[in-house]
Amino acid sequence: MKTTLFASILLVLSATAASAGAVLDRIESARKLVIATDAAYPPQSFLDKDGVMKGFDVDVGTEIAKRFGVSVEFVTPTWDLVIAGRWGDRWDVSIGSMTPTEQRSTVLDFPSIYYYVAHVLVVHKDNTTINRPEDASGKRIGIGQGESYERYLAGNLVLDAVGAQRITYRIMGAQVQAFEGNAMALDSLKLGDGVRIDAAMTSLPTALAARKAGAPIRVIEPPVYHEPLAVAIDKNDPEFGARLKEIVAAMRADGTLKTLSLKWFGADLTSPVQE
């Protein structure tokens, strides 16, 4: 619903594309890289007790800024605003575990994939009927608005990335319940098996972190699908994109990405998974 509302707003507003190299100039003159991410998406990005942002995405972003030779600032607009594109110079780059979908690539560019994630179905621990992803067909599944799960469950997720796996649709005819953010889908699941929803979709790291934090959930094996996650920038700035691509490639080559992945996920998620 909200995505449609957004699309119509964007149609009404005439778009001005970012001029080439403008972002690089701005980063140089401001001596800082402004990164959009989420403050409520552990373990990728979240607030610690002192209100400092932590997590895999935050560490990756901080490292990228370091390699640009500038300081870093994180801003936290709602997900819908990030995926809408046309950021109006408010932030330079999104490092927020974004799936590079074909639909999103009409307004955003994805210069670099930085890790790969498995998406899983989670159910309340009391559930006995859902044991494989297929079992959730026709069930009420909770997700966050605008997440790529929405497209997966509708059967039209098209990834816009080199080497992305072909998507197999395992869950048919699900009754999708889109909440304000993924966390609310998990909260709804915590109420009990089938109270509000029968299952929720989330990324494997999030599911494991939630279970570790005491959420009464069971993670369904095998994962529903795998996808690459990308750094995203506003449309039409190849110079800036090329620099980011170079930096992320260097971080992969010298093992920095792997170290961060082990630190936050306890596993190396920096190379594609073979099913």
Residues near other proteins (CB under 8 A): 5-6, 9-10, 13-16, 36, 39-42, 46-49, 51, 73, 75-78, 80-81, 84, 86, 88-90, 181, 183-184, 186-187, 209-210, 213-215
Cβ–Cβ contacts within 10 Å for residue 208, how many? 19
In this complex, which beta carbon is closest to other proteins, that of residue 41 or of residue 264? 41
Cβ-based nearer residue to other proteins, 39 or 70: 39
Coil, helix or strand for 122? strand
* Own/partner pairs, 10-14, CB within 8 angstroms, 24+ separation: 10/84, 10/85, 10/86, 10/107, 13/86
Shortest Å, Cβ 55 to other proteins = 9
CB 11 to other proteins: min, Å: 12
Pick between residue 167 and residue 184 the one whose CB is nearest to other proteins. Answer: 184
Choose between 81 and 262: whose C-beta lies nearer to other proteins: 81
Residue type, 193: D
Residue 204 is which amino acid? Answer: L
DSSP 53: E
Of 84, 82, 77, nearest to 6 by C-alpha is: 84
Please report how close the Cβ of residue 263 comes to other proteins at its closest, in angstroms: 17
Q: Which CB sits closer to other proteins, 113 or 207?
A: 207
Closer Cβ to other proteins, 159 or 178, answer by number: 178
Question: How many residues does the structure list for the chain?
Answer: 275
In whole angstroms, the minimum distance from the beta carbon of 259 to other proteins comes to 23
CB of 26 to other proteins, least distance (A): 11
CB of 171 to other proteins, least distance (A): 24
Q: Give Cα 52 distance to the centre of its chain.
A: 20
Nearest-10 crossing angle of helices 22-30, 238-253: 70
Tokens of residue 110, six digits: 């994805």
Eight-state DSSP code of residue 271: S
